[in-house]
């Protein structure tokens, strides 16, 4: 990297969020068992409509109704992989954007093979931590489960390469998030370490990315805006929280109350 990526601009984030609330995208979430409720509540707090449909046939049917699709492999099984594949195929036939969250890809065989397959199916966006993005780009880098052992900036070249080879906008998240389409890269600061002490903040961000990816306009800007919406709400919640327990309601309230002023 020869220069520091530009930061996403507050006015752009505010405009993307406003568009998001106006469109209120219906996001089909095929996600892991642990984060379903929180993911749904995050989308609802932002004005979107979450829906979890998991049977293969129904999931394919639902692609005709949903504005965006999230595939999160956190608690993958062979049966769920089939249903996810059916949903992705239907979304692609209908030209609906889908987003991949490659949770803990790298060390575990089923999800690693499945994620490599999915990369051939034109994801619109990919959101992962540094270890996951490095593993997905097959540049080694192996996490300890869902935690990243790498700094996000260390994975930026891998993210840019992955964006170019897959055609997706890639968000590699960490203390600073980097969002890239291979040519352009935006940096998103903010958030707080308390966000890593609550399960599902990353997974919920991926669902929000799936919703922002469905908006008309520049996907790179929209997806960077999704990252900033979450990091901004995280900062505000941390300011009023005593710990990870009180963080959760404060975070959902912050998403609900987020306005242009807060984002600038």
Annotated binding site for substrate, which residues? 52, 200
The nearest distance, CB 44 to its own copies, in angstroms, is 5
242 near its own copies (CB under 8 A):
yes
What does the buried/exposed string (b/e) look like for 66-99 if buried means 16 or more CB atoms within 10 Å of the residue's CB?
A: bbbbbbbbbebeeebbebbbbbbebbbeeebbbb
Binding region for its own copies (CB under 8 A) out of 12-20, 28-36, 122-130, 182-190:
28-36
The nearest distance, CB 86 to its own copies, in angstroms, is 13
Q: Which residues does residue 127 pair with via DSSP β-bridges, in sequence order? A: 171
Name which of 6 and 57 has its Cβ closer to its own copies: 57
Helix-strand-coil percent breakdown of the chain, rounded to 5? 50, 15, 35
146 near its own copies (CB under 8 A):
yes
Whole-number Å distance between alpha carbons of 39 and 45: 10
Sheet strands side by side (includes 49-51): 6-7, 185-188, 177-180, 169-173, 125-129, 98-101, 68-72, 26-30, 49-51
Name which of 209 and 254 has its Cβ closer to its own copies: 254
Please pick, from the candidates 15, 54, 121, 189, the single residue that binds its own copies as defined by CB under 8 A.
54
Q: How many chain residues bind its own copies (CB under 8 A)?
A: 61
11 near its own copies (CB under 8 A):
no
259 near its own copies (CB under 8 A):
no
21 near its own copies (CB under 8 A):
no
Name which of 70 and 223 has its Cβ closer to its own copies: 70
Q: Which residues does residue 50 pair with via DSSP β-bridges, in sequence order? A: 27
The nearest distance, CB 9 to its own copies, in angstroms, is 26
118 near its own copies (CB under 8 A):
no
Please pick, from the candidates 12, 16, 32, 185, the single residue that binds its own copies as defined by CB under 8 A.
32
End-to-end CA distance of the chain: 27
10 near its own copies (CB under 8 A):
no
Q: Answer yes or no: are the C-beta atoms of 145 and 127 closer than 8 Å.
A: no
Q: Which residues does residue 169 pair with via DSSP β-bridges, in sequence order? A: 125
Q: What is the DSSP string of 206-243?
A: HHHHHHHTTSSS-HHHHHHHHHHHHHHHHHHHHHH-SS
Whole-number Å distance between alpha carbons of 216 and 220: 11
Site for its own copies in 71-100 (CB under 8 A): 74-78
Q: Which residues does residue 177 pair with via DSSP β-bridges, in sequence order? A: 188
Contacts with its own copies, 122-141, as mask; x by CB under 8 A: --------------------
200 near its own copies (CB under 8 A):
yes
36 near its own copies (CB under 8 A):
yes
Residue positions forming the annotated binding site for ATP? 127, 173
H/E element, 59: helix 56-62
Positions in the binding site for its own copies (CB under 8 A): 26, 32-38, 40-41, 44-45, 49-55, 57-58, 61-62, 65-66, 74-78, 104, 107-111, 144-147, 196-200, 241-246, 248-257
């Amino acid at each position: 990297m020869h220069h520091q990526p530009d930061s996403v601009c507050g006015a752009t984030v505010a405009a993307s969020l406003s568009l998001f609330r106006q469109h209120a995208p219906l996001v089909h979430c095929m996600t892991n068992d642990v984060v379903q409720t929180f993911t749904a509540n995050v989308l609802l707090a932002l004005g979107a409509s979450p829906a979890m449909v998991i049977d293969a046939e129904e999931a394919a049917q639902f692609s005709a109704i949903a504005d965006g699709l999230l595939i999160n492999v956190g608690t993958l099984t062979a049966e769920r992989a089939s249903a996810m594949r059916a949903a992705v195929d239907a979304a692609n036939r209908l030209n609906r954007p889908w987003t991949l969250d490659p949770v803990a890809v790298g060390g575990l065989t089923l999800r690693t093979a499945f994620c490599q397959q999915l990369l051939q199916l034109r994801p619109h966006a990919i959101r992962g931590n540094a270890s996951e993005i490095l593993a997905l780009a097959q540049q080694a880098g192996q996490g300890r489960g869902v935690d990243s052992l790498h700094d996000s900036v260390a994975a930026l070249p891998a993210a840019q390469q992955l964006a170019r080879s897959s055609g997706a906008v890639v968000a590699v998240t960490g203390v600073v998030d980097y969002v890239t389409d291979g040519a352009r890269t935006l940096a998103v600061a903010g958030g707080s370490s308390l966000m890593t002490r609550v399960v599902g903040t990353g997974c919920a961000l991926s669902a929000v990315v799936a919703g922002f990816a469905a908006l008309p306009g520049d996907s790179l800007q929209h997806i960077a805006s999704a990252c900033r919406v979450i990091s901004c709400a995280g900062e505000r919640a941390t300011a009023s929280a005593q710990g990870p327990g009180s963080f959760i309601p404060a975070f959902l309230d912050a998403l609900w109350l987020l306005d242009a002023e807060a984002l600038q």
